[in-house]
Amino acid sequence: MTAPHTTPHAPRRVLLVGNFGRKTLQRAWFNTESKLANGFIRLGDHVLTFSDRDAAREATPLRAQAFGARRMARDLVATAAHYRPHLALFGHCDMLRAQDFAALRAAAPGVRLAAFCVDAAFRADTMAAFAARAACMDAAFITTADTAALAPYGFPAGRLFFMPNPVDAAVETALAFDAPRARLAWDGMFLGTGIGAREAQLADLRAALPPDFRFFDGGRAKTAGRLWSTRFLDTLATAAMAPNLPLDDGPDAPIHRLYSSDRIAQLLGQGVLALAPARSGLAALYDEGVVAWTSRDELAEAMARLMRDDAERRRIAGIGWRIAHARTSSAAVAAWIAAVTLGETPPPPAWPGVALT
């Protein structure tokens, strides 16, 4: 359960381009961009963040991204010219075009480019945009290892790799598994959107759980408002366990190998026991630190059993917490991205499904 070994290196300059959310006062301060920035800093690198959506919005009096996109791209290239990064890493930067990446390379000779994506492979428009972006990169990384699901999008050969959702010790700081049931507010919790089949999933789950099972769903599930910022993480840590629900759990619904939203990292990182669909194969990444389920009834049965057996709940959640913080730490993921992109010998990855094309 130890973190992958990383070879000492000279400090690098990393330009990390993504949505850092100044518009919302950085309420999503625990997003993947922010965790990866922490990871590179933990490796001894310097990180300069560039919030593309905010820069585009702020570039025009109309405060509209579309009108400020070109100015944002010019400012990004100018930033690269003076910063001279060794690595430029891009999140979901859909406003940037192939010519912008080419201009950035020209402005910072020797820079290596990488991109990452945390969306599901069934989002066709997002995947097509990511594949186009990946064609401009030296390496691209995605949080699913389902090669069959990714194949239709035409990702460049030899440049697409799996990365897990990172956990950061300065972000996920709770230890829910340390607390017995009596000290927690909820036995189970789901925080997330109510789209897809979620409403039906939650209704069936509530109906199947025992009457004394304390279950809370919110954070835009059903009609509850979204939980933002530190309140979101604090609320997660008040639950003993949480189902990692896909948008659709039907027998023909796409549940892709090793894919989860960043919820899995938030749950395990906070020490909450996570129950994941067996078809996702997440046990290959987190071993016995997650509980797999194959149907809504099986999910409810597992949750009821673990409510009664609090020692077992705490044992499994502790395993998941230790694996998530070691195997999928922000530093381990950042080291993997840097080594692959810079053409160095990467640290031995602690996860399956590494090369996807």
The DSSP secondary-structure symbol of 168 reads: -
DSSP code of residue 241: E
- Report the distance separating Cα 181 and Cα 308, nearest Å: 9
E-strand stretches of 143-245: 160-162, 186-191, 215-218, 239-243
Q: What's the rounded Cα separation, in Å, for the pair 218 and 198?
A: 12
The CATH superfamily holding the domain 176-326 is: Glycogen Phosphorylase B; (3.40.50.2000)
Q: In this structure, what are the phi and psi dihedrals at residue 329, rounded to the nearest 5 degrees?
A: -65, 160
Cα–Cα distance between 96 and 28 in angstroms, integer? 22
What is the C-alpha to C-alpha distance for residues 266 and 261, in angstroms, rounded to an integer?
10
Cβ(238)–Cβ(258) below 8 Å: no
Q: Supply the CATH classification number for the domain 13-166+330-342.
A: 3.40.50.11010
How far is the C-alpha of 73 from the C-alpha of 15, rounded, in Å? 14
The owner of tokens 């998530």 is 324
What is the value of pTM for the model shown? Answer: 0.95
Asked if 158 contacts 319 with a C-beta cutoff of 8 angstroms, the reply is no
Each domain of the chain, given as residue ranges in start order, spans: 13-166+330-342, 176-326
Residue 274 pairs with which residues in a beta bridge? 242, 290
**Any bridge partners for residue 218, and if so which?**
191
Beta bridge partners of 276: 292
Distance CA 50, CA 14 (A): 11
Per-residue pLDDT of the chain (357 residues; tens, 9 = 90+): 444 445 578 999 999 999 999 999 999 999 999 999 999 999 999 999 999 999 999 988 878 888 899 999 999 999 999 999 999 999 999 999 999 999 999 999 999 999 999 999 999 999 999 999 999 999 999 999 999 999 999 999 999 999 999 999 999 999 999 999 999 999 999 998 777 788 899 999 999 999 999 999 876 555 567 788 999 999 999 999 999 999 899 888 889 999 999 999 999 999 999 999 999 999 999 999 999 999 999 999 999 999 999 999 999 999 999 999 999 999 999 999 999 999 998 888 899 989 999
Cα radius of gyration rounded to whole Å, the chain: 20
Q: How far apart are the C-alpha atoms of 205 and 215, rounded to whole Å?
A: 9
Q: Assess whether the region 13-166+330-342 and the region 176-326 belong to the same CATH fold.
A: yes
